[in-house]
Structure 1
Amino acid sequence: MDIEAGDRYGNKRIHQRIGGSNPSSISERSNNKVCHHWRAGRCNRHPCPFLHAEPSIDSLPKRHQPAVEHHSLVWKNPGTNPGPPSKWGKARAPQKAPDKICKYFISGNCNYGERCRFLHSWFVGDSFSLLTPLQGHQKVITGIALPAGSDKLYSGSKDESVRVWDCQTGQCVGVINLGGEIGCMISEGPWIFVGIPNAVKAWNTQTATDLSLSGPTGQVYALVVGNEMLFAGIQDGHILAWKFSAVGNCFEPAASLSGHRLGVVSLVVGAMRLYSGSMDNTIRVWDLVTLQCIQTLTDHTSVVMSVLCWDQFLLSCSLDRTIKVWVATETGSLEVTYTHNEEQGLLALGGMHDAQAKPVLLCSCNDNVVRLYDLPSFTERGKIFSKDEVRAMQVGPGGLFFTGDGTGEVKVWKWSANETQSVN
């Protein structure tokens, strides 16, 4: 269509072509080149030897068409049989716009209040809520424990103390000074185990039995119970094992597992296997009966910070910014069936079921955010913000879960319904 337009400099005929040009004329419109004067809105040539429309991809010569990349969210290790399709990472919802929390709100001195354009909340998500913060520790929280049959919550910190909290009032009712940085803490039945430099402290909350287990060289970073033994991941790369003796009411040394070159920072037990994550970037798989290493997993490229068993899968996270999902092959060896990528390094994993009995993964990253994902789709459920990195997470009864951060603060959270189960 031709449009005549006049201006103060006299009549000037401007030819504006609406739609595409006929590519069969004028030497195929100069090989599908687009008129740059038309793009600028001032072409006055008629007919114009160039296109007055953007060419479609299909009209371009094949050598100029962009390559189409086919990405799969699920893959197997190279050289392995593909096996049945995996559900990991499928049916993911579109990524949400990032929620930016106000840094002044975090520090407690935002002057804008409700007018602030950034988030003034400790979390994003509609399925859980913050019940209360527990304040008192002076350094990073390294362990949270809820012993069976007790109405107390225990938290351990690098400030060398264990604090005891009343679950009804949220008040601190006791402080235990251990004289060394606490590297980890767990509970098993009525027992509480605390890892400190060169020792593991154990006490029974029902009988008041207080024991000290010697043997470690350096800081104890991780503890787990399996096959009636207590395992400790040590700074020197060893894993020590003790067995409880009911006769002597004590823990007797059972084994020392060697193989890791650097400190063992995470342990988990599942399906008669002990899994250990290390600063040497590897995961070792140990037979709980023979206590022999039966496989070494080397897919991570940085420290393996946490390992978690869920169903027949092993999940691991690392400072290399990935979460890897491992599954056993027909031969019994583990291989990666899915890799989830984050923009930040990962510090800890936790798992539980929500009010609808759906499994949820809690992932603590070193940007001070805990991300919650549905499993196995890895659809985002929410975010938890902290003043500092969250190094400790623990699942409680009745939909409760706990996070402990680098400032020494423990936060108590609750799902919107009462019944949840931990991921074992």
Structure 2
Amino acid sequence: MEMDGSKRVFQRLGPPPSQQGDNNSNNNRQPKVCIHWRAGRCNRFPCPFLHRESQGPPPPHHQQQGNNGMSSSSKRPHGFYEDDNNNNNRGGMRRNPNFNNTWGRSGGAAVVRKTEKVCNYWVKGNCTYGNTCRYLHSWTTGDCFTLLSQLEGHKKVVTGIALPSGSDKLYSGSTDKTVRVWDCQSGQCAGVVDFDGEVGCMLSEGPWIFVGITNLVKAWNTQTATDLSLNGPVGQVYALVVGNDMLLAGTEDGILAWKYNGSTNNFDPIRALTGHTHHVVSLVVGANRLYSGSMDNSIRVWNLETFQCLQILTDHTSVVMSVLCWDQFLLSCSLDKTIKVWAANESGNLEVTYTHQEERGLLALCGMHDSEAKPVLLCSCNDNTIRVYDLPSFSERGKIFSKEGVRRIEIGPAGLFFTGDESGQVRVWKWSTESSTSTS
């Protein structure tokens, strides 16, 4: 089922200014904007006032000439990171002397945010207002993406989504203690795997699927049908990542590392990385560094060769829900309602170069490239929306609405991406190739 995200509803603009009075002095004044419409509760039709923001003066010339000034780096799907094995900075990132000059600058007038809400009656299929409804009859704003399919079956929060290379199956895990297997052609559930504990995360790396559950990591090879159990975790496994030929898991009790042993066809435990004082809920690898986000409100930077903690980042004031590498930057989001952008200073340590503020706490970050290979950031908030931003300007491209908060966003091939929310719904999206015009 495809949804047209480009349709916007509630476009009554009221009568033109020439019909709002014959007084010459009134005609020379700026038309008034309806205060009830601004508050989202105007019920007059037609309304004598504007149902749109009045047009202001053009932006200053220097704002019109702005430029994002940041190029995309790599085509790696899970965070557009360009690996640099020759980088010796302690933070694992190249120092950029101009790193604080472009973040958060849109190159034009500021984006005006308006109250948006999906019509509950439209969701149920019985809204009688049609195009005159004051609420959205779409799961998206903007024209960036199209909803291809909604996969129903999970009963609780979707905590993991995996698409193994060379497979025609999509895998999703949930706190309902199941992994569901979906046929990519029909969109139908092809199987259900039951576990004794909740699924906290999933990861696909080549033909392997890793599933983090309570006190255990399960490993499946979709080509050889190998089924392994990796022991060692204490409590729930919340995050999984592969780096430096190792599998790393974020758990209630810290971070564990395994390495694949070809002679025994198994994963051998290597090291436990300790230091966090609360659960480790997010991991990412870049330039031979591991970055771990925790419920202790900190991010730790680890050397993957020595397993030493190089730096502790403490600028967040709540749980660090997600960490992401992009070019020479580290991005992190938190329930403290901020996205922070980190870059290496002259001494090689990471410091905050830009903070983006949201109205609600953030749940997940995911990076991808649009149809013109420009970097885009998807940010899930706990108000049941995903904000879509251009980088580095943080100009908003659109929003995705969901029934409940989205905990997982996963990138697929050919412009596909997947979202899983707290209601148990998995959605399949496609980035539109017609969402923007080419500029030479």
TM range (shorter): 0.7 to 0.9
Q: Distance in 2 between matches of 1:235 and 1:98?
A: 39
Question: 2:362, 2:380 within 8 Å by CA — same for their partners in 1?
Answer: yes
Q: Distance in 2 between matches of 1:201 and 1:82?
A: 40
TM-superposed CA distance for 1:110, in Å, is 5.0
Structure 1 pair 173–300 and aligned structure 2 pair: CA distance change class (3 A): same
Q: Does 1:88 align with 2:85?
A: no
Q: Does 1:223 align with 2:240?
A: yes
Q: State which of 277, 280, 284 in structure 2 corresponds to 1:261.
A: 277
Question: 1:145, 1:186 within 8 Å by CA — same for their partners in 2?
Answer: yes
| Corresponding residue number in structure 2 for 1:323 | 339
Question: 2:118, 2:401 within 8 Å by CA — same for their partners in 1?
Answer: no
Q: State which of 191, 208, 211 in structure 1 corresponds to 2:208.
A: 191
Structure 1 unmatched runs, 5+: 1-80, 419-424
Q: How do 1:365-376 residues align onto structure 2 when only pairs under 5 Å count?
A: 365-376=381-392
| Corresponding residue number in structure 2 for 1:299 | 315
Q: Distance in 2 between matches of 1:103 and 1:194?
A: 36
Q: Distance in 1 between matches of 2:315 and 2:186?
A: 46
| Corresponding residue number in structure 1 for 2:219 | 202
| Corresponding residue number in structure 1 for 2:324 | 308
Q: How do 1:7-86 residues align onto structure 2 when only pairs under 5 Å count?
A: 83-84=97-98, 85-86=100-101
Q: Distance in 2 between matches of 1:371 and 1:210?
A: 38
Question: 1:86, 1:337 within 8 Å by CA — same for their partners in 2?
Answer: no
Deviations 1:288-329 (A, max 9, x none): 110110000000000000000001110000000000000011
Q: Distance in 1 between matches of 2:379 and 2:165?
A: 25
Question: 1:234, 1:265 within 8 Å by CA — same for their partners in 2?
Answer: yes
Q: How do 1:96-115 residues align onto structure 2 when only pairs under 5 Å count?
A: 96-105=112-121, 108=124, 110-114=126-130, 115=132
Identity of aligned residues (%): 67
Give the secondary structure class of the aligned counterpart of 1:97.
coil
| Corresponding residue number in structure 1 for 2:31 | none
RMSD: 1.6
Question: 1:145, 1:155 within 8 Å by CA — same for their partners in 2?
Answer: yes
Question: 1:105, 1:120 within 8 Å by CA — same for their partners in 2?
Answer: no
Q: Distance in 1 between matches of 2:364 and 2:394?
A: 16
Q: Does 1:274 align with 2:293?
A: no
| Corresponding residue number in structure 1 for 2:230 | 213
Specify the code of the residue in structure 1 equivalent to 2:295.
M
Give the secondary structure class of the aligned counterpart of 2:120.
helix
Q: State which of 419, 423, 427 in structure 2 corresponds to 1:407.
A: 423
Question: 1:107, 1:387 within 8 Å by CA — same for their partners in 2?
Answer: no
Deviations 1:167-187 (A, max 9, x none): 111111111111210000010
Q: Does 1:162 align with 2:179?
A: yes
Q: Distance in 2 between matches of 1:307 and 1:369?
A: 19
Q: Distance in 2 between matches of 1:260 and 1:149?
A: 37
Specify the code of the residue in structure 2 equivalent to 1:86.
N
Q: State which of 142, 145, 151 in structure 1 corresponds to 2:159.
A: 142
TM-superposed CA distance for 1:87, in Å, is 1.2
Question: 1:101, 1:121 within 8 Å by CA — same for their partners in 2?
Answer: no
Question: 1:319, 1:345 within 8 Å by CA — same for their partners in 2?
Answer: yes
Question: 1:156, 1:184 within 8 Å by CA — same for their partners in 2?
Answer: yes
Q: TM-score, normalised by structure 1?
A: 0.77
TM-superposed CA distance for 1:101, in Å, is 1.7
Q: State which of 125, 144, 156 in structure 2 corresponds to 1:127.
A: 144
Q: Distance in 2 between matches of 1:292 and 1:118?
A: 52
Q: Distance in 2 between matches of 1:211 and 1:417?
A: 41
Q: Distance in 1 between matches of 2:387 and 2:118?
A: 18
| Corresponding residue number in structure 1 for 2:305 | 289
Question: 1:106, 1:387 within 8 Å by CA — same for their partners in 2?
Answer: no
Structure 1 pair 412–283 and aligned structure 2 pair: CA distance change class (3 A): same
Give the secondary structure class of the aligned counterpart of 1:397.
coil
Q: Distance in 2 between matches of 1:179 and 1:224?
A: 23
Structure (1 or 2) with the larger CA radius of gyration: 1
Question: 1:393, 1:404 within 8 Å by CA — same for their partners in 2?
Answer: yes
Deviations 1:337-357 (A, max 9, x none): 100000000000000000011
Give the secondary structure class of the aligned counterpart of 1:302.
coil
TM-superposed CA distance for 1:369, in Å, is 0.3
Q: Distance in 1 between matches of 2:121 and 2:177?
A: 29
- Structure with bigger RCO (C-alpha 8 Å, 6+ apart): 2
Specify the code of the residue in structure 2 equivalent to 1:168.
Q
Q: Distance in 1 between matches of 2:428 and 2:112?
A: 25
Q: State which of 171, 176, 190 in structure 1 corresponds to 2:193.
A: 176
Deviations 1:14-43 (A, max 9, x none): xxxxxxxxxxxxxxxxxxxxxxxxxxxxxx
Specify the code of the residue in structure 2 equivalent to 1:155.
S
| Corresponding residue number in structure 1 for 2:170 | 153
Specify the code of the residue in structure 2 equivalent to 1:378.
F
Q: Distance in 2 between matches of 1:317 and 1:385?
A: 19
Structure 1 pair 105–254 and aligned structure 2 pair: CA distance change class (3 A): farther
Deviations 1:271-304 (A, max 9, x none): 1100000000000000011011000000000000
Q: Distance in 2 between matches of 1:146 and 1:336?
A: 33
Specify the code of the residue in structure 2 equivalent to 1:87.
T
Specify the code of the residue in structure 2 equivalent to 1:257.
L
Q: Does 1:333 align with 2:337?
A: no
Give the secondary structure class of the aligned counterpart of 1:88.
coil
Q: Distance in 1 between matches of 2:129 and 2:222?
A: 45
